[in-house]
Chain A
Amino acid sequence: ELKVEQNPLFLSMQEGKNYTIYCNYSTTSDRLYWYRQDPGKSLESLFVLLSNGAVKQEGRLMASLDTKARLSTLHITAAVHDLSATYFCAVGPSGTYKYIFGTGTRLKVLA
């Protein structure tokens, strides 16, 4: 059974600080996605990572994928309050049409 684990589950950080969210998965996959969810809202796509070593950056967020280690990271640089949300990674196991989501990381950026 595919498992997708994120850590930490909760993250409270000061504005201006850096931090990394980790996403580990337990089966072969060459596609990984990051999403953002604001309270009470649906999910918004952030990054699409489709190959080993892929790195994508948008503003203060940068995502990377290591398929050999089955690990993706979401790095936050100089956090601002607007980044407060829940972040999910999602894995598409090879040979399937499924998307399995991680447990989510609830980020709170304190002013």
Chain B
Amino acid sequence: SQTIHQWPATLVQPVGSPLSLECTVEGTSNPNLYWYRQAAGRGLQLLFYSVGIGQISSEVPQNLSASRPQDRQFILSSKKLLLSDSGFYLCAFSKGLVTNTGELFFGEGSRLTVL
């Protein structure tokens, strides 16, 4: 079966510190991968998506970056965190629409607090 895992689940970081969130998909190949951020009590903001290794599309210009070093691995990074980076980060994958429904499946989420 297909599963998605992301870590860490919770982290508290000081302003100006670096960030690395990791996401791994199992049980499928060539997934489309996504990073979303959810501010407290708000909706989901699409940050990055990737349709293949090394292919990253950025939706929001800011101090975050994403990388896809392997087919089923997606990493969200920052060199220097801002207070406004606090939020609930969600990784998701889909199998596309050709032979699938395109449904998004989400990881458990990573809750980031920047102090």
Residues of A within 8 A of B (CB): 31, 33, 35, 41-45, 48, 50, 88, 90, 92, 97-104
Contacts and interface: CB of A to CB of B under 8 A. Distances in A.
A88 B43 contact: yes
Interface residues of B, number: 25
Given A98-B49, A104-B43, A48 B101 contact: yes
B19 interface: no
Contact of B102 (A31, A42, A100, A104): A31
User: Is chain A's binding surface mostly helix, strand, loop or mixed?
Assistant: strand
B87 interface: no
Contact of B109 (A31, A42, A98): A42
A42 B43 contact: no
A102 B46 CA distance: 11
Contacts of A101: 36, 43-44, 46
Given A48-B101, A97-B49, A97-B51, A41 B43 contact: no
B32 interface: yes
A42 B107 contact: yes
A58 to B, nearest CB: 14
A99 B45 CA distance: 10
Interface in B38-60: 42-44, 46, 49, 51, 57, 59
For the complex of A and B, 7 pairs with smallest distance between CB atoms:
A101-B44, A48-B101, A42-B106, A43-B106, A42-B109, A103-B43, A104-B43
B101 A50 contact: yes
Interface string B93-115: 01011000111111111000000
Contacts of B21: none
Contacts of A45: 103-105
B74 interface: no
Contacts of A42: 90, 106-109
A27 to B, nearest CB: 14
Contacts of A33: 103-104
Contacts of A103: 43
